[in-house]
Each structure stands twice: as C-alpha cells, then as structure tokens.
Amino acid sequence: MTKRDDERLERIRSELAALVVEGSLPGSLVVRSLRCGRRNCACHQDPTQLHGPYVQWSYSYRGKRVARWLNAEQTERLRDQVERGRQIKELTAELDAAEIRRIERAEGWGA
C-alpha cells in the first residue's frame, strides 16, 4: 500500500468520524407543490396554482420507503443532518473502493 493510499484512507476515516459525531439522517429533502382533492380549487384550473411549496423528507427503513412532511422549523433543524447523511454515504462508498484496492494490491490480484 502506498503512502498516498494510507493518507487517503486516513482522510476518509477522519471525515466520517467528524460527521458521525455531529449526527446524521438518511434520505433526502424534496420541495413539492401539490394539487388537492377539491375539483373547484385553483390548483385544478388553467393556469395551475399549486399548493405549497411543502418540504418532504423521505428515506428507506427496513426495506420500505417512508415519507414525512416537515414544517419550516423541522426543515431547518433536520436539513444539516440529512446533508451529513448524504456525505456519509458518499464517503462510505469512497472508503469501500479504497479498501478494495488496498486488499487487491496486498493479495496480488491486480488493481
């Protein structure tokens, strides 16, 4: 393993540790505008005037997709945690790739 590989792995581990300490959430925040069920509402007219915008947090848990509507206070409070969750996911994928390369080199399998 090269010094560059060692430094890269240490950087990834350090960034992951810092993100985990701050707390994170899986999933994503999406801003949506919607139509209601009332046929005479402006959201069904032309031009359309949809309701919203509303913020929805969605994530997978135990193999099922979960979605929660957030108010403004919840959105502000959870936004950074969801962003940290996204960063953790990216860094974990990067760590996996680096560790695979390390093992393949160590075992003489190529890469």
Is residue 24 within 8 A of residue 80, CB to CB? The reply is no
Residue matched to tokens 């007219």: 45
* pLDDT (0 to 100) of residue 58: 97
| Structural domain boundaries in the chain | 3-103
Interval 32-81: pLDDT, tens: 999 999 999 999 998 889 999 999 999 999 999 999 999 999 999 999 99
Residue 111: pLDDT above 70? no
